[in-house]
């Protein structure tokens, strides 16, 4: 049990977003070690995998096993990604606390990534919500609105279309929504503006920011979203990950760097740096040849924070 | 001549802050090529060197030659760093448009870097201003208040002491002041708070932010200072540089990444990306074995900006 509630929550998505873009399949035993170590470091929401066909993403074929293990950890929100109704049914069967359904704001990215238009994805979301309700499940349904800040395929994405889809997702029954800079195109002014507009549409149901550090603005964008009022962020330990259908998109913001950003500002995340950095070192051994990103692992905490600890 | 005035100015400090921390001495001919290419890329204020004894920094022994060359370039503000009155006299003799005198807010850093207390440094500043006035020179005198956000030697630096020194520098005759995160300790909330307080003390004479990217927050800090109202930033092409007396301090924010941050927000800097990136590639050839930092050189501009160009 944590003594004080964190002011910002960092959802670890490395086991899903990180591993899905790496050709090497991490053995289930290592994933379970990662899960337990992340929990021990203070992480209280973890996206443990994705219910997609194993032929498409063999790296994530053991998601049900990960969910079962995660459900044993007290106070942990066990989250999974689902691409469609079939995946959502598997998520419901698994007992996961939360499922994330990605919907692309970019028409071109939606077709490439999900093989349907954004409007068809919203219709599928409505079916997912109906299935959840029919099952009498309490599983939280969250939409991650991807390519909300631009798209490598389509280029610009209209803000009005993002806001329209946000409203459509809520109307279709989503409990929560988030905005994702899937390909690292966002800038801090745009982030602040779009989250502020999004909050005026979705209120406290717009809860999450998902940023990639492709062009060095990842942490500035996290800061801008936090300024707009967002208090949950996705991140991958070591900044691994990306989207296989978004050419040029590299690493998520690094969990340890996002944690440092907030710690440096005196905003608590509940995370233990020594534990996070030890796990990061272990992760780099589990994933030989995979580039780790991020700054704080290299530079170390400043003297001012070490003295305060 | 530029067609429209840039909304933000990026002062290139690579020829001084960058090169002073690199053991290899770049030949004057290469520095002159760098100077001319930076000017061609749109840079209109360049810190070309430092008037320090050549036995201390042989890398910068040709500063007078660089000043003479820079003075030939129309509309370029030619700036030099001076550690003391003797250096200031050399700057006045050179005809440079502006001199930057660093004064450490950290007592410990001041003793290590300048071998005097901050108060003694302010007294030296008064002598520099008197010498400038006695010479009938128009040379702009700017103080860079270093370690303003914390210090690797001393740890925390009191904000009240920073503000006191800011006022003392203005009282001693400085035309302009800036705040520097010499060792990469600053966080965006602190940056916004201290610049806002500084602006209430110094008004439009607080003009510059100098940030290092040691812990990944460099661009978030630039953004925070810009939000506070600052419109000039120091940067080094390729993020080279650091302070030899501040252990652990690594690279300045990269010129090309700061330029990208502002361009992404629609804020003009007058800089040409293709020219900057070509020069960066050349710089990495001139400095074999020196790590280049920054993201935009690796990732490239987003499709949205390439289409807009």
Other CB atoms within 10 Å distance of the CB of residue B274: 10
The distance between the two most distant Cα atoms of chain A, rounded to a whole number of Å, is: 55
β-pairing verdict for B98-104 and B140-146 = parallel
Q: How confident is the model at residue A243 (pLDDT cuts 50, 70, 90)?
A: low
CA A177 to chain centroid = 12
B11 pLDDT more than 90: yes
Cβ contact, residue pair A296, B183, below 8 Å: no
Answer left, alpha or beta for residue B261, where phi above 0 means left and psi between -120 and 50 means alpha.
alpha
CA B93 to chain centroid = 22
Report how far residue A154's alpha carbon sits from residue A147's, in angstroms, rounded to the nearest whole number.
10
B303 pLDDT more than 50: yes
A248 at B interface, C-beta within 8 A? yes
Cβ contact, residue pair B261, A187, below 8 Å: yes
Active site annotation includes A208 = no
**The pLDDT value given to residue B306:** 79
Cβ contact, residue pair B261, A190, below 8 Å: no
Please write the tens of the pLDDT for every residue from A196-240.
Answer: 999 999 999 999 999 999 999 999 999 999 999 999 999 999 999
**The pLDDT value given to residue A245:** 54
B185 at A interface, C-beta within 8 A? yes
Least confident of A2-6, A87-91, B40-44, B198-202: A2-6
Q: How confident is the model at residue A109 (pLDDT cuts 50, 70, 90)?
A: very high
Report how far residue A199's alpha carbon sits from residue A84's, in angstroms, rounded to the nearest whole number.
26
Cβ contact, residue pair A223, B219, below 8 Å: no
**The pLDDT value given to residue A2:** 45
Average pLDDT of chain A to the nearest whole number = 94
Token representation of residue B58? 């042989």
ipTM more than 0.90?
A: yes
DSSP assignment letter at A239:
G
CB pairs under 8 A between A and B: 123
**The pLDDT value given to residue B304:** 86
Report how far residue B187's alpha carbon sits from residue A305's, in angstroms, rounded to the nearest whole number.
12
**The pLDDT value given to residue A248:** 46
- A103 beta partners: A145
Please write the tens of the pLDDT for every residue from A111-149.
Answer: 998 899 999 999 999 999 999 999 999 999 999 999 999
The CA-atom distances, in angstroms, between A124 and each of A91, A102, A114, B79 are 15, 11, 11, 61
Please write the tens of the pLDDT for every residue from B277-302.
Answer: 999 999 999 999 888 888 899 888 99
β-pairing verdict for B77-81 and A232-235 = unpaired
Q: How confident is the model at residue A289 (pLDDT cuts 50, 70, 90)?
A: confident
CA A148 to chain centroid = 14
Q: Taking the domains of chain B in order of start, what are their residue ranges?
A: 9-308
Q: What does the pLDDT average to over A68-80?
A: 98
Q: Contacts of residue A248 in chain B, CB cutoff 8 Å?
A: 299-300
Name the one residue in this structure whose structure tokens are 């050839």: B285
A152 pLDDT more than 60: yes
B158 at A interface, C-beta within 8 A? no
Cβ contact, residue pair A223, B220, below 8 Å: yes
Of A189, A220, A304, the CB nearest to B219: A220
Q: How confident is the model at residue B248 (pLDDT cuts 50, 70, 90)?
A: very low
Q: How confident is the model at residue B244 (pLDDT cuts 50, 70, 90)?
A: low
B235 at A interface, C-beta within 8 A? no
Residue A17 three-state SS: helix
Token representation of residue A246? 């978004």
Q: Contacts of residue A261 in chain B, CB cutoff 8 Å?
A: 187-188, 216-217, 220
Cβ-proximal residues to B289 (8 Å cutoff; 6+ apart), any chain: B24
Q: Which residue of A has its CA nearest to B224?
A: A220
The CA-atom distances, in angstroms, between A254 and each of A147, A149, A151, B160 are 19, 19, 21, 34
B304 at A interface, C-beta within 8 A? yes
**The pLDDT value given to residue B4:** 65
Report how far residue A79's alpha carbon sits from residue A57's, in angstroms, rounded to the nearest whole number.
18
**What percent of chain B stands above pLDDT 90?**
85
**The pLDDT value given to residue A113:** 83
- For the domain bounded by B9-308, which CATH number is listed? 3.20.20.70
Report how far residue A19's alpha carbon sits from residue A214's, in angstroms, rounded to the nearest whole number.
17
Report how far residue A296's alpha carbon sits from residue A253's, in angstroms, rounded to the nearest whole number.
12
B251 at A interface, C-beta within 8 A? no
- B20 beta partners: none
Q: What does the pLDDT average to over B86-109?
A: 97
- What is the nearest CA distance from B45 to chain A, expressed in angstroms? 24
Token representation of residue A288? 């030989």
Cβ contact, residue pair B302, A224, below 8 Å: no
């Amino acid at each position: 049990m944590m003594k004080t509630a964190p002011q910002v929550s960092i959802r670890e998505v490395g086991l899903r977003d990180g591993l899905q873009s790496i050709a090497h399949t991490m053995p289930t035993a290592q994933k379970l070690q990662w899960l337990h170590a992340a929990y021990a470091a203070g992480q209280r929401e973890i996206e443990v995998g994705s219910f997609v066909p194993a032929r498409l993403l063999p790296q994530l074929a053991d998601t049900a096993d990960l969910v079962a293990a995660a459900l044993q950890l007290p106070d942990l929100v066990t989250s999974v990604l689902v691409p469609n109704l079939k995946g959502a049914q598997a998520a419901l069967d698994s007992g996961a606390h939360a499922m994330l359904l990605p919907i692309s704001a970019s028409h071109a990215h939606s077709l490439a990534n999900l093989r349907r238009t954004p409007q068809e994805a919203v219709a599928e979301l409505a079916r997912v919500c109906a299935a959840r309700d029919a099952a009498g499940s309490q599983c939280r349904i969250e939409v991650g609105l991807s390519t909300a800040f631009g798209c490598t395929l389509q280029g610009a994405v209209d803000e009005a279309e993002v806001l329209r889809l946000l409203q459509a997702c809520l109307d279709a029954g989503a409990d929560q929504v988030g905005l994702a800079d899937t390909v690292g195109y966002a800038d801090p002014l745009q982030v602040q503006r779009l989250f502020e507009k999004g909050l005026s549409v979705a209120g406290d149901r717009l809860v999450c920011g998902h940023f990639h550090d492709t062009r060095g603005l990842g942490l500035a964008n996290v800061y801008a979203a936090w300024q707009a009022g967002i208090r949950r962020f996705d991140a991958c330990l070591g900044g691994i990950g990306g989207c296989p259908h978004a050419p040029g998109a590299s690493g998520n913001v690094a969990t340890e760097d996002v944690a440092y950003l907030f710690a440096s500002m005196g905003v608590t995340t509940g995370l233990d740096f020594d534990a996070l950095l030890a796990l990061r070192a272990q992760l780099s051994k589990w994933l030989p040849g995979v580039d780790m990103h991020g700054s704080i692992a290299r530079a170390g905490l400043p003297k001012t924070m070490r003295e305060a600890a």
